[in-house]
Every structure is written in C-alpha cells, then in structure tokens.
Amino acid sequence: MTSLDLYTVAGALIFALGLHAVLVRGHLFWKVLAINVMGTGIFLVLLAAPARSTPGVADPVPQAMVLTGIVVAVAATALALGVALRVTARTGAPFLPDPDDDREGGG
C-alpha cells in the first residue's frame, strides 16, 4: 500500500464517520460539526493527491481546491448555524422535529 492509498483510505473513513454522525445525531450542532468532519476527510484525500505526480514537485491545484473548499465550508457552517438557531428559537429545541413524511397526507 503506497502512502497515497493510505491517505485516500483514511480520508474516505473520516468522510464515512462524519456521514454516520449526520445520520444518527439528532442535535443540530452535532450535525453541522459532522458535515465539517466529512469535508475534512475529502481535504485529506486532496492534500495527498500531489503524491501521484513526480516526487518533489508540488502540484498547486489540489491546494487551491482545499483553500476554496475551506471558504465554502465556513460560509455553509455560518448559514447552517444561523438557521439552527432560528429552529431552536421557533420550536424550543435544537432538534429537527419528526419529519411530516410521506405517510401523512396533509400539510
């Protein structure tokens, strides 16, 4: 296993851990944190990507992607936390109420 494979597998694992937490954790703050963890997993894969080209030569493209990714993540986190606060203010708890899903006809 090359070190590139190692980083890729580790990144995918972190992504999966984050996804798991988004699905099972009810608290909205946990969900937002978990989404950030998922992103970190992807950044790990990207930062290791230059290893595929000639050793010793830095590939700037993945670094540019991670930088942009961080900017996007900050914006998304800010909006998500803002909406989460409003959900808390409206419903009294930082949780999503049970989805009024398909089985219930009305709205």
Partner 1 sequence: MTPFELWTSVAVFGPLLAAVLALSGRPRILRIALATGSASALAAALGLWGAVTHEGPGRHLLGGWGQPLGIELWVDGFATAMLLVTAVVGSAISLYSLSYFGDLSELSVRESPAGRGARYFAPLWLLLWSALNGIYLSADLFNLYVMLEILGLAAAAIVTLAVTTQATVAGMRYLIVSLVGSLFFLLGVALLYVEYGVLSLEALAAAEPAGPAAAIALVSMTVGMAMKTALFPFHAWLPPAHAGAPAPGSALLSALVVKGSFFILVRLWFAVYGGGTEGGLFVLGLLGAGAILWGSLLALRQTSLKRLIAYSTVAQLGYLFVMFPLLLGGSGEVNADAWSGGMLLLLSHALAKAAMFLAAGNMSYAVAEDSLPAISGIAHRLPVSFFAFGLGGLSLAGLPPSAGFLGKWLLLRSAIESGAWGWVVVIAGGGLLTLGYVILVLRYALDRKDAPDDYRPVPRRMEGAAILLALVAVVLGVRGVEVVALLQQGAVFPW
Give the residues lining the site for partner 1 (CB under 8 A).
4, 8, 11-12, 15, 19, 22, 28, 31, 35, 38-39, 41-42, 45-46, 48-49, 52-53, 59-62, 64-65, 68-69, 72, 75-76, 79-80, 83-84, 86-87, 90-91, 96-97, 99-102, 105-107
Please report how close the Cβ of residue 103 comes to partner 1 at its closest, in angstroms.
9
**How many of the other CB atoms lie within 10 Å of CB of 36?**
14
Burial profile 6-23: b = 16 or more Cβ within 10 angstroms, e = fewer: ebbeebeebbeebeebbe
Nearer to partner 1, 24 or 91 (CB): 91
Q: Which residues contact 9 (CB under 8 A, 6 or more apart)?
A: none
Please report how close the Cβ of residue 1 comes to partner 1 at its closest, in angstroms.
14
CA 78, CA 105: separation in Å to the nearest integer?
34
Please report how close the Cβ of residue 17 comes to partner 1 at its closest, in angstroms.
13
Using an 8 Å Cβ cutoff, are 36 and 77 in contact?
yes
Please report how close the Cβ of residue 24 comes to partner 1 at its closest, in angstroms.
13
